[in-house]
Structure 1
């Protein structure tokens, strides 16, 4: 089984986190959300989804029986490194896939101009699809990310209406503005040729 990486873009308040919460809850395998928010409120919290267990280390992740993990951390790259190791072992032992959600990926994970060769998220994007490891890279403005996640992601998901500061990204990749969402919580899925594959709305239960 191969897993196809996804770039999720969306302005603040547009529904991006709601979309990711649903993806986290419904994934058919192990889903790990890397949560490096300062206050524990932004992004997923342990009480947001039934069955989401909070862990703070690779040891705790390995000891957990849950398939929905919220990995609280101060260093998202250290958490990603541990999540990658856990995902490889999980696939080898069970045959099931793993999803790693890197929300706010511009903050300490894949910031443009600050991605080293041994970056674990970069390695997951480049090397781990055949290990059934899928990465969802999420950010408000994809221009803040290194080009790597953009070219490795098979699908681009836009959530909510676009803002003025997205214009450079939209123009550079020739995204059809007429196909982009016009309201919060609307979702459009593109392939890498900018064809629209799917339209939907986020589900209220995950807001």
Structure 2
């Protein structure tokens, strides 16, 4: 019989040391077709990646999101943040996400996958919901990135509420937005790599 494991609460997580995040030197902003081509070539060298998206918030009932506006993909040492304004850039990302040969590990990917299908016309077939892996290990509640970092690394993952609710459709992203977006994907890559039994865990 599988034992139910406790999910750390906010108060317990708040006491932990900070999880070291990627800085701007380890983050590449991608917003042109040429940049997207180069980034996708680098990402195709990996069997697994951390994965997330960001969309401009909606504020009214029944308001339909036009996101995702950002797609983030990361290895264990670098993250790429793709803006989807240009058709050429968007098409490169769509092609990469539709390829079945790599895992795309992330948290809470249900909405991300629906929006990607609606906007990019593809299904990210390699998408891997990390909450499912934690449930298989006896954690009843959805873990989320904060809980997962606390459990696996005994550290506290910081997420800026200001960045989370910012306008991801802006043509010019702030440094805070870049760091927020990149590290969501990076943290997912680190979590997946730390879970035992994955030969295709992200590499550097």
TM-score, normalization: structure 1?
A: 0.31
Question: Which structure shows the higher helix fraction?
Answer: 2
Question: Which structure shows the higher strand fraction?
Answer: 1
User: Which one scores higher on RCO, CA 8 angstroms, separation ≥ 6?
Assistant: 2
